[in-house]
């Protein structure tokens, strides 16, 4: 059925029903990402939900690092009404657009249950469009907004209960949509051997007492920068500050692609930030971000609802493969007497000679 509840609202962007995207590209998607931490190394929760109109799929996940365990609950179902933001025990409620959002994982047979509400600390920030064309085909054309905020509610993982209070529980979120590889793998054709997202990915949204800094850098092995951002955003509404070109110095756990420390500087603004990861969550494993052959974002799992859970050992089952995908940490950031926390996200794909990764498998020295 094409008509849905969304068609009651003046939000159409094409002559078609809202159920149908304005493009027939199979890789069109529309997703939420959230992360939550206690400004410490006690646990790191990452959760999200996505719709894939041209694949006919909606899925969701919640992934929590606690101690030496990697907990995952994930679900998938056929996409029906796009206003229905639920997949099995997981659902999103938009309480106040761009300000207050609730994410729920109802109690289930797996190891995670959660009911938390997000309250934004800064306005939603429009991020640069990511556009990558490879051998004639557009493989990335995405739009995204980002935000930092505080969480409140309850969380249970592995039989432990946590009271989530906004005095110390914070995090980041983003909403993104557009085109990027999703669903079942496609044949590479002329792009055989080409990693369209090669190089270094840094994404460090950080929250301080009265301001946030958003740093992003997608840098190719030859030093070309394809997507960058460096911005300071004030809570009181003062004009945003463009911090200029960024520079990075990263330190790795030897033999891996996992960062242990970073220094990010903005020479034009006179800012140098010490970046310390507190707890890593290898979010690429078990959640759909491409490391599991049987579960990818938008992959068809069957004609009905499918809900699965996993509890994996971080060092033996997750890290060996997870380090080659997107890696998320709770980050502590300090500069000029300011101390803040946020997402410390990185990925190194293919060779990156500056840090000694000479091919797609090599870790840093």
d(CA 253, CA 259): 6
Intra-chain end-to-end CA distance of the chain, in Å: 55
250 and 262 in contact (C-beta within 8 Å)?
Answer: yes
Domain ranges of the chain: 29-142+155-167+196-355
The H or E element that residue 327 is part of is strand 327-335
3-state class (DSSP) for residue 316: helix
Report the C-alpha gap between 141 and 194 in whole angstroms: 18
Please give the Cα distance from 121 to 96 (Å, whole number): 13
Counting as low any pLDDT under 70, the low residues of the chain are none
Our CA angle for 76, 64, 107, nearest 5°, is 60
Cα atoms in the 13 Å half-sphere on the side-chain side of 302: 6
Q: Do the Cβ atoms of 212 and 206 come closer than 8 Å?
A: yes
* Residues paired with residue 340 on neighbouring β-strands, in sequence order: 333
* DSSP per-residue letters across 313-358: EIIIIIHHHHTTS-EEEEEEEEETTEEEEEEEEEEEES-BGGGTB-
Q: Is 260 left (phi over 0), alpha (psi -120 to 50) or beta?
A: alpha
Residue 311 burial (CB < 10 Å; 0-12/13-18/19+)?
A: middle
Q: How far apart are CA 157 and CA 249, in angstroms?
A: 35
Cα 234 to Cα 296: distance, rounded to the nearest angstrom? 37
**Closest C-alpha to 65, from 243, 272, 319, 355:** 319
Cα 93 to the center of its chain, rounded Å: 19
Rounded CA gap, 185 and 299, in Å? 9
Q: What DSSP state is assigned to residue 320?
A: H
Q: How many Å apart are CA 348 and CA 155, to the nearest integer?
A: 32
Full DSSP string of 101-150: EEEEE---SSSEEEEEEEEESSPPEEPPPEEEEETTEEEEEEEEEEEEEE
Q: Would you state the pLDDT for residue 314?
A: 98
* Structural contact between residues 36 and 151, judged by C-beta atoms closer than 8 angstroms: yes
Task: Give the whole-angstrom CA distance, residue 124 versus residue 145.
Answer: 6
Q: What is the dihedral of CA 314, 315, 316, 317, to 10 degrees?
A: 30
Instruction: Decide if 217 contacts 200 (C-beta within 8 A).
Output: yes
pLDDT in the model for residue 1: 73
Assign domain 29-142+155-167+196-355 to a CATH class.
mainly beta
The structure's pTM equals: 0.96
CA trace torsion 74, 80, 84, 85 (10° rounding): 30
Of residues 230, 291, 28, the one with CA closest to residue 140: 28
Least Cα distance to 226 among 199, 204, 203 occurs for 199
């Amino acid at each position: 059925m094409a008509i849905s509840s969304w068609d009651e609202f003046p939000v159409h962007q094409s002559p078609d029903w809202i159920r149908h995207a304005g493009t027939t590209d199979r890789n069109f998607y529309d997703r939420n990402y959230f992360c939550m931490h206690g400004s410490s190394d006690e646990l790191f929760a990452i959760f999200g939900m996505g719709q894939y109109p041209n694949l006919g799929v909606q899925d969701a996940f919640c992934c929590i690092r606690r101690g030496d365990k990697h907990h995952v609950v994930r679900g998938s179902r056929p996409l029906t009404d796009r206003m229905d933001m639920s997949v099995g025990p997981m659902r999103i409620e938009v309480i106040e657009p761009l300000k207050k959002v609730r994410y729920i994982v109802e109690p289930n047979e797996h190891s995670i249950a959660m009911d938390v509400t997000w309250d934004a600390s800064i306005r939603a920030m429009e991020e640069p469009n990511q556009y990558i064309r490879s051998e004639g085909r557009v493989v990335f054309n995405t739009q995204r907004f980002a935000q930092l905020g505080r969480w409140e509610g309850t969380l249970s993982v592995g039989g432990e209960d946590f009271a989530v209070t906004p005095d110390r529980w914070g995090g980041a979120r983003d909403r993104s949509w557009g085109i990027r590889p999703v669903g079942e793998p496609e044949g590479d054709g002329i792009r055989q051997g080409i990693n369209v997202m090669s190089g270094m990915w840094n994404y460090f949204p950080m929250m301080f007492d009265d301001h946030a800094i958003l740093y992003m850098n997608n840098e190719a092995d030859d030093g070309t920068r394809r997507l960058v951002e460096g911005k300071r955003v004030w809570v009181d509404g003062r004009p945003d500050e463009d911090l200029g070109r960024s520079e990075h110095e990263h330190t790795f756990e030897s033999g891996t692609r996992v960062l242990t420390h970073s220094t990010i500087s903005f020479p034009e603004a006179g800012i140098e930030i010490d970046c310390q990861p507190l707890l890593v969550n290898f979010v690429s494993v078990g959640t759909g971000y491409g490391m599991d052959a049987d579960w990818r974002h938008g992959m068809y799992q069957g004609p009905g609802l499918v809900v699965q859970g996993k509890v994996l050992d971080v060092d033996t089952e997750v890290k060996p493969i997870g380090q080659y995908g997107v890696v998320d940490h709770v980050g502590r950031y300090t500069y000029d007497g300011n101390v803040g926390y946020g997402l410390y996200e990185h990925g190194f794909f293919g060779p990156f000679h500056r840090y000694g990764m000479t091919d797609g498998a090599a870790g840093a020295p």
